[in-house]
Chains A and B, each alone.
Chain A
Amino acid sequence: MLKIIASYFFIVFGLAALWVSTSRSVIKCLLEKRDNNEWWGVNQLIHGDLASISHLDYLNKFSLPTHSTLKRANYTGPKNTTLFIHGDSYLYKVQDSIFAGISSFHFTGWNNQYHYHLDSSKRNVLIIEVAERLVRNYYGTTEILDELCDTTITKKNISSLSKPIISEIKYSSLFFCTDPMSIFNKNINQNLEYNLFNYNFMMPLFGCKAAINYYLFSRASGDVVISKDKHFLFYKETVSFTLPGSSFSPLSDDEITHLVSNFNIIHDYYKATGFKEIYLSIIPSTVTIMQPEGYNNLIPRIQNDKRLKMKIIDAWSVFKKSKELLFFPGDTHWNNTGKQIWVDMVNEQLTKE
């Protein structure tokens, strides 16, 4: 009898685990509820995403150092600019107070429908910010036009623009929830791991595996790679020789042409919907700056392409010359020093007459 009850329990438990791990809304809810220090919670990003994924944070390796806060914009001129940023986690939770000369600020990211309607009395500026590792995946198509679009027009109907007003701000972005499909959710394994094993009380076990890999085999677990100088963690995808997110995988001229062509289509659409200026800003991967031997030059090849119509906010050129530490040692993202440099470059464009 006990065996029968147990078997039914595990059937229901398994089905529930599969369902929960494919449900975007449930995972979103769990991520919010479980972001704590309780035994059932999980501090996913507190020490840096890569240090957490590889559990090296448990060994006190590559943890986030304390870093400066972003400066509020000190600009006294007219505030007549509406700033739209279509970005990613590099600008997660960015505050409007850091941008100069803006009257309003709107941020959206991938997998979020964002409908706008522009106020033509303002200077409307759009910045398309994208992490280097996502450029080929995201801009191999022009899907952005389906997500960030004018409420009154379609891609095919860009000439019939009407009177603009600005829509409501909508914040975006979620870790783990990038695929909205239901039962065939491609993130199901990450989500299952999160639901079944990622608990604070399990951390010692993960720490043991991380210790074996780090001390015995001199490497990190999972999708994380330790830099040659042992000071940084890199996301494996960015150092692979085959994956499109890599700074080292082959990149043909045809692919550059294709990407530039897509950026131009995107530029023309947003220009036609009323944006005065459209900027492209590709944020270099940590490995591109810290360990550049063999770099496929994705960023300079796009930015320097004469056919590209978008204006550029060139973080790559500035970062590679900088002597400062611009990235977190155990995180895929820049630190606030890096972010501040980028914000200053943006503000320079925003305050230009």
Chain B
Amino acid sequence: MTFNSLQFLVFFMVVTLWFFRLKSQKGRVWLLLIASCYFYMSFIPEYILILGGTIIVDYFAGLLIEKNEAGKRKFWLVISLIANIGTLAVFKYYNFFIDNIHTGFLFFGKPLSLPLLKMALPIGLSFHTFQAMSYTIEVYRKKQAAERNFVVYALYVMFYPQLVAGPIERPQNVLPQLKEFRPYNWDNVKEGMARMLWGFFKKVVIADRLAMVVERTYGHTHESSSLALFTGAVFYSFQIYCDFSGYSDIAIGAAKVMNIRLMENFNMPYLSRSISEFWSRWHISLSSWFRDYLYIPLGGNRKGEWRRKLNVFIVFLLSGLWHGANWTFVAWGLLHGLLVIILTRKGKQQPDSKANLATAARIVVNFLLVTFLWIFFRSENIGAAWVYIKEIFAFRGGSNYVGVNRAELIFSVLVIAIMMYREKFLPVHFISKNSLFYLFTFCMVLICYFFGVFAENQFIYFQF
């Protein structure tokens, strides 16, 4: 069940209305848990067992970490981490690992045939395992009390708006909200609905429209002109942003309707002036996860310049791997890491954000850097990414056709501009006047219907 499906709209309507009809928090938690199970099972029903398994392990690990002292606390934390990372390793990375062993042995002339796992990657596995890990780590650090109510804990991991593509939440933010009965609040409903509509707009009007251009250029690299390939690369930057941040908007908005506040995941990343600033604005819940649970425990910037560089390198390597079991993601992560290492020095602060020509130039250069790195992210393999980049810099002619006609190309640029303008200058989703809210809703529904591209495209980040 993707957010941009009719099934979700009906499901959301039923769950939300039912949620507000219940008079106890216990009933609401049960309702949300059952709804979340249905939501998850609508992808591949059997995979609920994998998710359920890790939830049970982490629930008991949390209790045992809290109950025990020193060494035993660590033991139960390690058990929890092994369960979570082990699940990721088996279902996400096993085939990648075996494929590479096969390639290695073949290279030395000794073909090997180890068994491969023949099953699809469970949807959103990386998201919910990271969220589960943040719980046991926080309990271990004594910053969060272990949750005794199994249903509440299960809902913390499975809360359907952020179950399959984040934001990757922290227990301190979500658990208290799941335990507190909050009455119906019309202002929250309006803000949540407005934000959801904005997310739908970004997904169906922008991201899925740009996908037509991106699919064409990445599928016809050799026939397309350099200009067409460059257009495809730039459009992919906006496609993945609108796709993922659109998902986050819908998730945050859906939770807001039910009086639950989720963390922000994006802050206009393409207006960053450097790669490190980009990472403080892009997928914030993941980058802060890596900062809190990996970079800082590794020593952060406290153990000298070389150690800082090594830590940054490790974080970006793992961040790349987190996205997928493919060398393209590893390369994408490493290149980001290298750029952060090369372009950022310890203690050097970003200059003030003044709207001048130099700032604009830095934003453009940074955007182009990010765009070129997205080519690795989008391509089937490193070779294809390299060819795509080479063809752009060949400055050659060829077909300028990018999968859509000129009117749609202009329309695409126009909606990107509208989206950027609105997010920069009108970032608030709350509309106080009811009449304005109804007008906004009516217009957004019409725009999404008449200008939306409905091809049941999944959200890109679901695959992670």
A residues apposed to B, CB below 8 Å: 4, 7-8, 10-11, 14-15, 17-18, 21, 183-184, 188-189, 192-193, 196, 208-209, 212, 216-219, 221-223, 236, 241
Among B7, B17, B215, B407, contact of A11 (Cβ-Cβ < 8 Å):
B17
Whether A192 contacts B7 in the complex (CB less than 8 A), given A7-B17, A219-B404, comes out as yes
Among B10, B21, B41, contact of A184 (Cβ-Cβ < 8 Å):
B41
CA separation between A17 and B407, bound complex, in Å?
38
Q: Chain B's interface: helix, strand, loop or mixed, by majority?
A: helix
Among A188, A222, A241, contact of B7 (Cβ-Cβ < 8 Å):
A188
Which residues does chain B contribute within 8 Å of A218, judged by CB atoms? 405, 407-408
Are A223 and B6 in contact, with the CB atoms below 8 A? no
Q: Chain A's interface: helix, strand, loop or mixed, by majority?
A: helix
A-B contact pairs, 21 of them (CB 8 A): A7-B21, A8-B21, A10-B17, A11-B17, A11-B18, A14-B13, A15-B14, A18-B14, A184-B42, A189-B456, A192-B7, A216-B407, A216-B408, A217-B404, A217-B407, A218-B405, A218-B408, A219-B408, A221-B454, A222-B454, A241-B215
Among A11, A192, A216, contact of B6 (Cβ-Cβ < 8 Å):
A192
CA separation between A219 and B449, bound complex, in Å?
16
CB distance from A194 to the nearest CB of B (A): 10
Whether A193 contacts B6 in the complex (CB less than 8 A), given A209-B450, A219-B404, comes out as yes
- Beyond A8-B21, A217-B405, 17 additional contacts (C-beta under 8 Å) are A4-B21, A7-B17, A7-B20, A14-B13, A14-B17, A18-B11, A184-B45, A192-B7, A209-B449, A212-B450, A212-B451, A216-B411, A218-B407, A219-B404, A222-B455, A241-B215, A241-B219
CA separation between A241 and B218, bound complex, in Å?
10
| Per-residue contact bits, chain B 391-430, to A (CB 8 Å; 1 contact, 0 not) | 0000000000000110110010000000000000000000
Are B13 and A18 in contact, with the CB atoms below 8 A? no
CA separation between A219 and B405, bound complex, in Å?
9
Which parts of B1-30 form the interface with A (CB within 8 Å)? 5-7, 10-11, 13-14, 17-18, 20-21
Are A236 and B455 in contact, with the CB atoms below 8 A? yes
Whether A10 contacts B407 in the complex (CB less than 8 A), given A18-B7, A188-B7, comes out as no
CA separation between A96 and B20, bound complex, in Å?
59
CB distance from A8 to the nearest CB of B (A): 7
Which residues does chain B contribute within 8 Å of A221, judged by CB atoms? 454
Are B14 and A11 in contact, with the CB atoms below 8 A? yes
CB distance from B431 to the nearest CB of A (A): 20
Which residues does chain A contribute within 8 Å of B454, judged by CB atoms? 221-222
CB distance from A54 to the nearest CB of B (A): 11
Which residues does chain A contribute within 8 Å of B450, judged by CB atoms? 208-209, 212
Whether A189 contacts B455 in the complex (CB less than 8 A), given A208-B450, A217-B407, comes out as no
Which residues does chain A contribute within 8 Å of B41, judged by CB atoms? 184
Which residues does chain B contribute within 8 Å of A15, judged by CB atoms? 14
Which residues does chain B contribute within 8 Å of A217, judged by CB atoms? 404-405, 407-408, 411
Which residues does chain B contribute within 8 Å of A14, judged by CB atoms? 10-11, 13-14, 17
CB distance from A72 to the nearest CB of B (A): 43
Which residues does chain B contribute within 8 Å of A21, judged by CB atoms? 7
Are A189 and B17 in contact, with the CB atoms below 8 A? no
